[in-house]
Structure 1
Amino acid sequence: MDKTYNPASIEPHWYATWERNGHFRPAGKGNPYCIMIPPPNVTGTLHMGHAFQDTLMDILARYHRMRGDNTLWQPGTDHAGIATQMVVERQLNAEGTDRHALGRAAFVEKIWEWKAQSGGTIQNQMRRLGTSVDWSRERFTMDEGLSAAVREVFVRLHDEGLIYRGQRLVNWDPVLQTAVSDLEVESSEEQGSIWKLRYPLADGGEHLVVATTRPETMLGDTAVAVNPEDERFRHLVGRHVRLPLVGREIPIVADEYVDPAFGTGCLKITPAHDFNDYEVGQRHGCEPINIFTEAARVNGNAPEAYRGLDRYEARERIVADFEAAGLLEGIEPHKLMVPRCDRTGVVVEPYLTHQWFVDLTREVQEDGRPGGWAEITRPAIQAVRQGDIRFVPENWSKTYYNWLEDIQDWCISRQLWWGHRIPAWYDGQGAVYVGHDEADVRRRNGLDDTVTLTQDEDVLDTWFSSALWPFSTLGWPEETPELATFYPTSVLVTGFDIIFFWVARMIMMGLKFRGDVPFREVYIHGLVRDSEGAKMSKSKGNVLDPIDIVDGIDLESLVAKRTTGLMQPQRAPAIEKQTRRAFPEGIAAHGTDALRFTFASLATTGRDVVFDMGRVDGYRNFCNKLWNAARYVLMNTEGKDCGSGDGGIELGTAERWIISRLQRTERAVAEAIEGYRMDQAAQAIYEFTWDEYCDWYLELSKPTLQGDADPARARGTRQTLVRVLEALLRLAHPIMPFITEEIWQRVAPLAGVDGDTVMTRPFPVAEAGREDPAAEAEIDWMQRFILGIRRIRGEMDIAPGKPLPVLLQNAADLDRQRLQRHRAELDFLARLESVTVLEAGEEAPESALALVDELEVRVPMAGLIDKAAELARLDKERRRLGDDLARTEGKLANEAFVSRAPADVVQRERDKLAEGRSALERIDEQMARIERL
């Protein structure tokens, strides 16, 4: 093996080898195990959330593959309607043209060309991250097979009356000029205002003052609402106000939605431009009046003075006109949640428009149940309630229920050119026909060629096609062998933020079209946040590219990457400054395994995954530790008798101990992975590898291998070294695939193990009867003895290599026996000059003390240290600590610091003070002990 661990030299080689040899494909035997990858958008690159999620899925896939399951991890990408169309439109704009100049067919062709050129970015990143998906089965939500599935579902649902076209309020992006889903809307608190506007009563005399954060929408008001319990306005309910600037009379209605404590207690109702107002308007029979165009400019339904104005220009004009008319009561600052499209950054407009919907609330009668039950949503609720699907952690099922039990019909149409075009056609009279294609429409409806048909211009929401992902990728609507084998799939691994948008819809569609759930378990993981706990986003400048962590990146390239293409270019200087401060030397290369181990260690059941580069540094060191341990093993076993021949072997206490600890670790890791606690699996592997195998067993093996041990004992040690390491490599492989494969190739032959790759070898299983509590107790005693000696060396500043005389007081018979059995290891690891067992009543000289239960391990101080020099050293350290304590005490005595500094900063200073005082006490004790010598 190379002296230095270099992930860049091994990772691409092994991934190419695995893929070339077909190791990612299902084995064709064993119990079926299937994971569907949440398809990333074809437009982009993998971010930290993708890398985290893919690591979790790959751990599961590799684990089950090694357990002998017939494992399929299905890959694919989503066509990402809005994002993809924006990317290609930007390219066209840079060339001086746009999609309208090209026309729809040519524009869609341009997108397919772009996908052919750029669509491999994500796949290459996934390969760098070690994801063992079956690339031979890769799917795309716009490929022919999945498109056929989309058309089939649309037609069937429409035939059953579960898809309809209607006029509803939707989230509307005035730049993209399309409806957008809730997932594409990000709401954040922004500073705004409350305008208080006077609305005169139609019959004269009085006026009402309404409070609004959007005065421009008053042009579409159809009512004023007050709370029915509000004594101030009860006498006005049923009367009318005359809408200023418009002249229309609108009613005053009573509705419990109104909060009497907000604003003035009077709420203007604009059903066509507010979701809550729409519901109020429906309850009171108010006809919605749309006052905006698709570009959010005032349309012909408003007075002529405002037509053509942008909504914010209209706001300024309307407020000015209210003030001029003496109808502006006042303006107050107000913070409010503002919804913006995450693609364009523009404020989303609630907009009344004709769209296609899936009916998720239609009730059907069954078994005489009163009231009926929702035809699509109720089975999805019942599937979780009765345990057909299990959420992990279980508390996320409550989020799932809450949404489904208060669900609205699903808007599935988008006003785009890229996507699955809605399979609906219109004749000259506006009649609508639905079918798989135009020929199917004509055949189904008896329409000949004299009837001109025009296909609907809209495309389907991308969530519609991704809702079919668990069965469409397996060949549905055809009854394929893969569908029979792998549906229902085993587990869905996803973030909590798309439980509504994707998880619930897959469950509804799976039950509707397959008669069974799409997956048995839903493993919900947290979102990746930065080290301060903030959500990673380009606008904040705290995004990390996982490939930069794997391969490393210099500072200037990192700055350029973070500040290029920002939605808010004005933030570039701040982000550059932040980047240079956080990464003054850029990001060093860490390799994939270190990053994957970091993700596994962070995969708790909580919501947030707080990512810290320091942890990746630590796990890169862990990889180095494993690499160096393997080099030690190979140097001591290659070309030597490891007990595979006729010679007998003898296992000493250390061998029995490490084998016993391995059994416990194997059990812990398997239980953790089965329970989706990757953090616990990583911790168990880390502690066994570093703390037990490397730090103790390798050291305990040295007296045997370097001395004149019995040949059978030496063979037993060499055999244990390679066999435990080989099992450890299999144990760690799902988390760290590359380094384990590279080392395994060298170790497996020495351990007598055959096979082309570690990834197809059995996952280690704890063997009954191989745990050895007696050996564990022996080694535990030895470890505490050695650590006690090492602590004394550290406290007394005694050189590590200096042999020490040791006195044992209160030694029981078992202590004496253990001393005799392990004297060679104790001498070697603790660097002992001599060991004297004191008899009962025998006094010990002034000594440093370590306790091993009742046993007192003493190191006499006389002659070991230079008394004067040691006292001088300790006094210098005491003065330094005293100065530090004085500064900390002064800071905490400063009332301004304690009251103004962040709570965590103040607490750190208090902890520092406590630690300093404790250290000072220890130095005083040590000086007193030396003074007595």
Structure 2
Amino acid sequence: MTHTLASSYDPKQFETRLYQEWESSGVFQPRGEGEPYSILLPPPNVTGTLHMGHAFQHTLMDALIRYHRMRGYDTLWQMGTDHAGIATEMVVSRNLAAEGAGETRDSLGRDGFIAKVWEWKQQSGDTIEKQMRRIGASGDWSRSVFTMDPMAANAVIEAFVRLYEDGLIYRGQRLVNWDPVLKTAISDLEVVNEEEDGFLWSISYPLTDGSGELTVATTRPETMLGDVAVMVHPQDERYTHLIGRTVTLPLTGREIPVIADDYVDREFGTGVVKVTPAHDFNDYAVGQRHNLELINIFTPTAAVNENAPEKYRGLDRYEARKVVLVDLEAEGRLVETKPHKLQVPRGDRTGQVIEPYLTDQWFVKMDGLAARGLELVEKGDVKFVPANWINTYRHWMENIQDWCISRQLWWGHRIPAWYDDDGKIYVGRTEEEVRAKQGLGSNVTLSQDSDVLETWFSSQLWPFSTMGWPDEQAMAERGFDRYVPSSVLVTGFDIIFFWVARMIMATDQFTGRVPFRDVYVTGLIRDSHGQKMSKSKGNVLDPLDLIDGISLDDLVAKRTGGLMQPKMAEKIEKATRKEFPDGIPAFGADALRFTIAALATHGRDIKFDLGRAEGYKNFCNKLWNATRFVLMNTEGANFIGVPDPKTDAERWILSRLAKVAAEAEQHFAGYRFDLLSQALYEFAWNEFCDWFVELAKPALQGEDAIAANSTRHTLLFVLERLLSLLHPLIPFVTEELWQQVAPKLGVSEKTIMLRPYPQASDFAGQDYAAAEGDVEWLKAMVTSLRKIRSELNVAPSKTVPLLVADCSASDRERVARFDSQLRFLTRLDGITVLDDASAAPASATALVGELKLFVPLEGLVDLGAERARLEKELKRVEGEIAKCHNKLASETFVANAPPAVVEQERKRLADWNLQREALAEQRAKLA
């Protein structure tokens, strides 16, 4: 795997190559040794492509897997894809239409259409898995499961039959979300509620006895054809005398009762509400309480059916609305029409308005399952991170409704139920089993239910259907006992109920286990302005475009392609060209991954800023250049084990390495990827690449051969450990660099993925705290002196003298000990210790603690310009002193701020005063 390190960082040159080498080596597969650590991949739709939400979650899962693999755990990242019933049917149907051969879903028939779906799956269905590889997902692809695979399909049938036999599945007529284009029930998750402009129509319903009328308000006047009551609040004094009487429903002549229910809001409209149980979820609940008739007035395509007056039959729902309004106005029953904002439910696949629709469906009884699912979380068998998400989980579980699990589709797991000619239902694993159990001969005709199960039904079984359940031999082969429960589920908050809760309930019901120990709930990726990414907004970012780059024209085409409204496309194109005038450059997978980790706070929403990706590409480049420096300075060197440091700089960096390793362990345990990336960035960029590389140079170029050799060892050792620390977050660049560094340290592993992850315990017994203090002093000296040189514009080649005064004993010792390093790093021609600071000539000054530094100005600068600089600096320092005084003079601040904060402010004031004194003294010398 070893390659010569290129002179410049270019991720395109090695990322794909490295991934292919990793996968072919089998390193992604579990070893079967060590403590098990497993993660379930939330199965993406087989129709899908990688989007930013996927990239976000997959990066964090991969970081956890790589980290635990390096910690010696037996890691399994269970991969797979979901068959995505509705989405897949739509894709294949569109493909058929595009082929232009005249074939459609209906013309092919069920078997022919399903054959086309499988054909499409074989050709294009693994797109998203290929894209996942591009971001470095180190899952076990050899175990990947598709929810329609025989093993997973067998689990679905078994689960359905067992639930039915336990009395937990039933078939009944209830109200569901209905998409009139797809002609199927859909889940709440597939319904998008959007605020839209509409109207509120007020309609008068005459009392049957002719004594008056009641006025109702509705946003859907066509549904009045299915009204079965009008409703008032039981304590509304305006209407209590009418409760129990009847009104005549306009346009139909039907007599319907006036009922009372607490659901009515007396303050809204007239306080009178129409009740249409077959076309409104709230009305359905009212109808159940009052035993009202259910009148469905729509066909599956949302046209008016035979339950309405003949005049309206066959009309589309919106055409029927127009006719109903005209007829109401003609009868003098349309009281008022006014604009109204309303929440419109639309199907996320078709964009069509969803109808609450009364139909026969299969349901799971949820109350008992939910009580058990809540108990498991409340007692800590499953833990949410962040912990506050348990409140959302609890709310959903305590307000659960029976679950509609059937869909009127062809692609999916067909419901294992058969009907005889009399409509009697038989449930079994196969038709042969049904006939054998029920004693049905060949003379009895059976037809299988044409519906399929919704995809969430099979997804709830994911923790154990991927492990071979219910086949005991398959379970043993795939490690059911070893990997269930899994260690953590990484998922979004939007599917806590739809998927997380159902997995908890199902896994407990069928296996007696919990599916996972932790649920790490991520936020939602938004654009840099906090807007949700969507095609209609034109702000979608494709993670592969960030990795490999995309031209402006291609980006515009991608964002506007398929948009039906020219004005929208024009607006999106204009905004895109303004935001990305040069397109999107290639950042590489590592820079994208590090950006994601840095943004992974425990907040609900996460703003993705492209500028961060550029910054982290620079970070990868910094690592690359630092590695080149180390390699150039260690040619021919070979070391074994932990270095025995000879210099304070080595002791300091080893101490900092131990501390950052401890921080990394803490942040991984707490799923704080943001704090992890921050700690590693600071150590890598500031402490290793900047300071230690600088502090190593005096030893490397000095005459002490022992110190030089020790420094080479430490450079290599710390770099190798740093690359290992960073590997879970940025796997590609760390592997490429590690391959060059590792041979010099005699390590046995062939890949960084199998190197032990650095831990604080690795450095037990190495107490270099004193060196930390010494080197922090040295860094402050170097920084101060370089600042003086910069401000005075002293040429890099010119050496300058340094005078120091007000030295403590430790300062004197450090000045002597670090004399050669200070000379080398700040280009000094000598260091003189003054007994009295007043003896210093006109100089540029600085303070390190209480130690005063003087760089004589004679021959270096224009004294007039230096006086002006000192005046400016004095004003700045006096401004800071004033701020401190104001804070400390505030009784509110002193009384309410934490004592540590108040003390810190007092220390800042003392430090600023010392600086003012030094500057004033220097100004006096120049007067």
TM over 0.5: yes
Unaligned runs of at least 5 residues, structure 1: 362-373, 882-921
CA distance in 2, matches of 1:853, 1:649: 31
Equivalent pairs counted in the alignment come to 875
Q: TM-score under structure 1 normalisation?
A: 0.91
Q: CA deviation at 1:56?
A: 0.5
Counterpart secondary structure, 1:208 = strand
Q: Does residue 519 of structure 1 match 2:513?
A: no
Give the structure 1 partner of residue 411 of structure 2.
Answer: 418
Percent identity at matched positions?
60
Alpha-carbon spacing, 1:327–1:649, altered in 2? closer, same or farther (3 Å): closer
How far does the alpha carbon of each residue in 1:713-768 deviate from its partner, in whole angstroms, 9 at most, with x for none? 11110000000111111111111111111111111111221211010111111121
Of residues 695-704 and 250-259 in structure 1, the stretch that sits farther from structure 2 once superposed is 250-259
Distance verdict in 2 for CA 1:876–1:491, change over 3 Å? closer
Residue 778 of structure 1: aligned partner? 774
Residue equivalent to 1:815: 811
Residues 225 and 258 in structure 1, CA contact (< 8 A), matched pair in contact too: yes
Q: Is the 2:645–2:714 Cα contact (8 Å) retained in structure 1?
A: no
Counterparts of 1:170-569 in structure 2 under 5 Å?
Answer: 170-361=176-367, 374=368, 376-479=369-472, 480-481=475-476, 482-566=479-563
Q: Please report the TM-score for the alignment, with normalisation by the length of structure 2.
A: 0.91
Out of 859, 871, 876, the residue aligned to residue 863 of structure 1 is 859
Match of 2:786 in 1: 790
1:741 matches 2:743: no
Partner of 1:667: 662
**CA offset at residue 549 of structure 1?**
0.5
CA contact (8 A) 2:408 2:450 kept: yes
- The answer to whether residue 128 in structure 2 is matched with residue 134 in structure 1 is no
Alignment correspondent of 2:887? none
Residue 62 of structure 1 is matched in structure 2 by 66
In the aligned structure 2, how far is the partner of 1:797 from the partner of 1:266?
A: 83
In structure 2, the residue matched to 1:168 is 174
Q: What's the offset of the Cα at 1:867?
A: 4.5
Distance 2:823 2:837 in 1: 26
Q: CA deviation at 1:803?
A: 3.0
Note closer, same or farther for the CA distance 1:871–1:554 as it changes in structure 2 (3 Å cut).
farther
CA 1:49–1:569: 2 relative to 1, 3 Å:
farther
Give the distance between the partners of 1:737 and 1:794, measured in 2 at CA: 38
* 2:590 maps to 1:593: yes
What SS does the corresponding residue of 2:633 show, helix, strand or coil? helix
The answer to whether the 8 A contact 2:44-2:82 is kept is yes
Over residues 172-230 of structure 1, what are the superposed CA-to-partner deviations in whole Å (9 max), with x where a residue is unaligned?
10110100001111112111111111111111131111111111111111111112222
Give 2:770's aligned amino acid.
A
- Residue 655 of structure 1 corresponds to which residue in structure 2? 650
Select which of 810, 830, 842 maps to 1:834. 830
Work out whether 1:9 is the aligned partner of 2:13.
Answer: yes
Q: CA deviation at 1:846?
A: 3.9
Deviations 1:281-329 (A, max 9, x none): 1111211111111111111111111111111111122122212221111
Return 121-130 or 568-577, whichever deviates more.
568-577
Cα distance change on mapping 1:593 and 1:841 into 2, 3 Å:
closer
In structure 1, what is the equivalent of residue 612 of structure 2?
615
TM-aligned CA distance change 1:503 to 1:84, over 3 Å: same
Could you tell me which amino acid in structure 2 is paired with residue 360 of structure 1? M
Deviates more, 1:146-155 or 1:808-817: 808-817
8 A contact 1:89–1:99 mirrored in 2: yes
Counterparts in 2 of 1:152 and 1:222: CA distance versus 1, 3 Å: same
- Partner of 1:544, secondary structure, is coil
- What letter corresponds to residue 15 of structure 1 in structure 2? Y
The 8 Å contact of residues 594 and 623 in structure 1, kept in 2 or not, is answered as yes
Match 2:724 to one of 721, 726, 730: 730
1:43 maps to 2:47: yes
Letter in 2 for 1:681: L
Q: Does 1:23 align with 2:20?
A: no
Pick from 660, 677, 684: which aligns with 1:682?
Answer: 677
Q: Structure 2 counterpart of 1:127, which letter?
A: R
State the Cα deviation string for residues 344-383 of structure 1 (Å, max 9, x = none): 111111111100001112xxxxxxxxxxxx2x11111111
Shift, 1:770, TM fit: 2.1
Asked whether the 8 Å contact 1:664–1:771 carries over to 2, the reply is no
Distance 1:97 1:253 in 2: 53
* Deviations 1:239-283, CA, capped at 9 Å, x for gaps: 111111111111111111111121221111111111011111111
State the secondary structure of the residue aligned to 1:418. Answer: coil
1:13-41 C-alpha deviation (Å, 9 max, x unpaired)? 11111111100000110011111100000
* TM-superposed deviation, 1:873: 11
- Listed one character per residue, the Cα deviations across residues 784-835 of structure 1 (whole Å, up to 9, x for unaligned) are 1111223334444444554333322211111111011111221222232332
Contact 1:649 1:713 in 2 (8 A): no
1:141-174 deviation per Cα after TM superposition (whole angstroms, max 9, x unaligned): 0000100000000011111111110001000101
CA RMSD of aligned residues (A): 2.4
State the Cα distance separating 1:385 from its structure 2 match.
0.7
> Aligned partners of 1:381, 1:175: CA distance in 2, in Å?
37
1:82-136 deviations in whole A, cap 9, x for unaligned?
Answer: 0000000111122233111111100000000001000121111011110000011
Secondary structure of the corresponding residue to residue 291 of structure 1: coil
SS at match of 1:138: strand
* d(CA) in 1 for partners of 2:733, 2:300: 56
Say if 2:645 and 2:651, in contact at 8 Å, map to a contact too: no
Return the letter of the residue paired with 2:444: V
Question: Match of 1:691, SS?
Answer: helix
Q: 1:72 to 1:678 in 2, by over 3 A?
A: same
**Which amino acid is the alignment partner of residue 420 of structure 1?**
H
Following TM superposition, by how much is the alpha carbon of 1:231 offset from its aligned partner in structure 2, in angstroms?
1.9
- Give the CA deviation at 1:74: 0.5
Q: CA deviation at 1:644?
A: 8.0
Distance in structure 2 (CA, Å) of the matches to 1:118 and 1:841: 78
Aligned equivalent of 2:687, options 687, 692, 698? 692
Cα deviation, 1:596-640, whole Å, max 9, x if unaligned, reads 111111111111121000000000000000000000000000213
C-alpha separation between the residues in 2 aligned to 1:198 and 1:644?
90
- What is the identity, as a one-letter code, of the residue corresponding to 1:258? V
Match of 1:716 in 2: 710
Per-residue displacement from partner, 1:494-536 (whole Å, max 9, x unpaired)? 0000000000000010000000101111111111110001111
SS at match of 2:342: strand
- Aligned-partner Cα distance in 2 for 1:411–1:860: 84
How far the C-alpha of 1:932 sits from its partner, in A, is 4.2
Contact 2:639–2:746 (8 Å) recurs in 1:
no
Aligned-partner SS, 2:433: helix
Offset at 1:843? 3.7
1:830 and 1:792 mapped to 2: Cα distance? 10
CA contact (8 A) 2:373 2:504 kept: yes
Q: What residue is the counterpart of 1:148 in the other structure? A: 154
Give the aligned residue type for 1:561: K
Please point out which of 34, 38, 54 is paired with 2:38.
Answer: 34
Q: For 1:842-878, what per-residue CA distance to the aligned partner results, in whole angstroms no more than 9, with x for missing partners?
A: 343443332211112233334322356779999999x
Structure 1 Cα separation of the partners of residues 73 and 157 of structure 2: 34
